[in-house]
Structure 1
Amino acid sequence: MTQPSELVATFLAHTGGRLEASAEADALEGLLRRVWEDARAQWPEVELPAERFIRHLAERLPEAGSDGQIGPRLEQLSLPELYLACACVQGIAEATVAFDRHYLSRLPGLLGYLRQPAAIIDEVCQLTRVKLLVHTPEGAPRLNDYTGQGSLLSWVRITAVRIALRVCGLDKPAPDEGVVEVLESLPAPGDVELDLIRRRHHAEFRQAVREAFAALSMDERHLLRLHVVDQLSTVELGALFRVNQSTVSRWLKSVRQTVFNETRRRLQARLGLSARDFQSFLGALDSQLELGISLIFGEEDAQARK
């Protein structure tokens, strides 16, 4: 076996023991070189040395799957965005400019649904920029915590929303309020016939959820976005809306039930399943609603970014 190259040695040294040297060192060298070149091609003005990026990547390598292959683990990551985040943390000026232009500049529009005064939104955007990009005596910029799993824009938005809660003084839950579980997903049934029905009518299900969701009021959509997309807890939502946690839980339960009922009504009119099959299908429907809602929000965000 040949001695690993410097790039491979750097990668192996910073995976935290999640990867060991193997006879595939040459193949790994080619893979890492391509990963760096492809990521760099997305930001041609940002010059980040390969070794720095590969070290950053290795420290955020996802845990191995059943086959332990590196390629599928890297495919889980948004590598160009991880490259930009790494370059920003390294203090490369061109990376900061690109981050401002492609991400931070979009925050005012993305935070509009919080319904805060323009001055508050501006302050939140400024604080978010500082938190994400500025080194402090306590450590690296928060952007260093981005692992490449998921959209960088969504990650930045969630950070900004949590800053908004603090700016507005809404991040302190009332005492003695327990955590109330809402929007619980039921386990998917193991019935083979039901699984076949669900897969066969996947398109109808997605369309029914979309139509049911469109029938919600703007306030109801706003609440679901904060909970499902921005991952705010019922405690945080209660503080944001200045109501107690149990009220937020009732709101969420009501909205979820509305989507469920509307989806059920639309499916029943379309599918023409037998009464028994349709009732079985409904048993699996509840476990799919939150995923469907998340996908709809993701599609809306993608459209907004175009």
Structure 2
Amino acid sequence: MVEPFTLATTFLKNAPVRMTGADEMAGLEAVLRRTWDNARAAWPGVDLPAEVFVRHLSMRLSSQELGGPLALLLEHLVLADLYIACACVNGVAGAIEALEQHYLGKLPHALAYLRLPEQILDEVCQSVRIHLLVGTAESRPRLGEYTGRGALLSWIRVIAVRMALKQGGVGREAPEENVMTLIEAFSEPSSNAEIDLIKRRYRKEFRQAVRDAFSALSDDQRHLLRLHFIDRLSTIEMGPLFQVNQSTISRWIKSARQTVYEGTKSRLQERLRLSTREFESLLAEIESQMDVGLSQVLDDGDGT
């Protein structure tokens, strides 16, 4: 007797795709079985049934995504994170404890760069737990909305930051040590002696201009840049986190970068008395180093 294609059948009942023929079904069954095995291996002791996981997975894929090879699509998902999220939603023994240890328990450290008062930090973390695992009268537990596109901790952190912003606990001032890190990035030897001289001579003024430019960013902009430059999330990965498309994320990042550049430029122009040639040389150096500078100014050294 031929063993039924249990996982393939479950997948096809819920995913917007159709297959015919035993060969196709056997191939799909093998891919799904391997996917479940690999995801489960990350969580010893959390026994989520394969059919439940496959059903959860299939309902989070779009027809557009399923136009290509499924195995290739799955390579771009964080399947271990999706597995534990699914296990929590379905009440599997040990799942919530694992979520607490590997994700929720790391939230205070992950949010350290926001400089939240301890009381607000505790309230935010508790609110996130309720939001993810319990839900509200208006909505189901939010953890069920996680799709595996991007790391689960980053997805949870986005939710936590938005809650912190609503409570008004996030400060706007860029930490002094971050500004100094950015300045150091501009202090590396250059082949242009004139630029080196300008950077040394106007170190104090430049530091103040950078600090003021970053302070002018909104909290959302600074968090967006941190996810992109520090957590190294692509615009594709960030889209589902903010529930917008990739082009919108790209536009937001470009706008924030431009705000920093223009803010630094205008402040330097107001405070320095440089010749046109000197000022243009300095601006060219600022623009060429902007991505490196953003990475360093946003990295507060907390390791998250």
1:99 corresponding residue in structure 2: 99
- Write the distance in 2 (CA, Å) between the matches of 1:101 and 1:55: 26
TM-score (norm 2): 0.61
In structure 1, what is the Cα distance between the partners aligned to 2:60 and 2:301?
25
2:18 aligned partner: 20
Cα gap change, 1:4 to 1:64, in 2 (>3 Å): farther
1:135-174 residue pairs with structure 2 within 5 A?
135-168=135-168
The match for 1:265 is 285
Cα deviation code 1:63-102 (max 9, x no counterpart): 5459621111111110000000001111224111111111
Shift of 1:219: 8.5
Structure showing greater radius of gyration is 2
Please say which of residues 137-146 and 154-163 is displaced more in the overlay.
137-146
Distance 2:75 2:113 in 1: 32
* Alignment of 1:78 onto 2:78: yes
Letter in 1 for 2:46: V
Residue in structure 2 matched with residue 228 of structure 1 by the alignment: 225
Q: 1:210-232, CA deviations, whole angstroms, 9 ceiling, x for partnerless residues? A: 9359975598399653242469x
Corresponding residue number in structure 2 for 1:256: 261
Give unpaired runs (5+ residues) of structure 1.
171-207, 232-249, 267-281
Q: Report the Cα distance in structure 2 between the residues aligned to 1:302 and 1:35, rounded to whole angstroms.
A: 35
Secondary structure at the residue paired with 2:140? coil
Q: Residue 256 of structure 1 aligns to which amino acid in structure 2?
A: Y
How much has 1:120 moved relative to structure 2?
A: 0.4
- The whole-number CA distance in structure 1 between the counterparts of 2:99 and 2:226 is 22
What residue is the counterpart of 2:108 in the other structure?
Answer: 108
- Pairwise mapping of residues 178-217 of structure 1 onto structure 2 (< 5 A)? 211=185, 217=211
Residues 185-210 of structure 1, C-alpha deviations (whole Å, 9 max, x = no match) = xxxxxxxxxxxxxxxxxxxxxxx9x9
CA gap of 1:10–1:110, structure 2 versus 1, over 3 A, is: same
Amino acid across the alignment from 1:31: V
The superposition leaves residues 127-146 of structure 1 with CA deviations (integer Å, 9 ceiling, x where unpaired) of 00110111444443101111
The one-letter code matched in structure 2 to 1:52 is V
- Matched residues, percent identical? 39
1:59 CA displacement: 0.8
Deviation at residue 36 of structure 1 after TM alignment: 0.3
Q: Could you tell me whether the CA contact under 8 Å between 2:108 and 2:125 is conserved in 1?
A: yes
Shift of 1:48: 0.4
Name 1:304's counterpart in structure 2: 303
TM-superposed deviation, 1:115? 2.3
Secondary structure of the equivalent of 1:304? coil
CA distance change for structure 1 residues 3 and 121 in 2, over 3 Å: closer, same or farther?
A: same
Q: Which amino acid aligns with 1:60?
A: R
Q: CA RMSD in A?
A: 4.2
Query: 2:117 touches 2:169 (CA, 8 Å); kept in 1?
Result: no
Query: Could you report, residue by residue, the CA deviation over 1:248-304 in whole angstroms, capped at 9, with x for unpaired residues?
Result: xx9964523459x879428xxxxxxxxxxxxxxx8xx79xx67x788x48x969982
- In structure 2, the CA distance between the partners of 1:227 and 1:67, relative to structure 1 (3 Å rule), is closer
**TM-score, normalization: structure 1?**
0.61
CA distance in 2, matches of 1:7, 1:70: 14
**Structure 1 residues 159 and 145 mapped into 2: Cα distance closer, same or farther (>3 Å)?**
same
Q: Does the CA contact (< 8 Å) of 1:61 and 1:73 recur in 2?
A: no
Give the aligned partner of residue 181 of structure 1.
none
Q: CA deviation at 1:61?
A: 1.9
Deviations 1:94-122 (A, max 9, x none): 11111111111111122222222100010
The structural deviation recorded for 1:169 is: 8.5
Residue 60 of structure 1 corresponds to 60
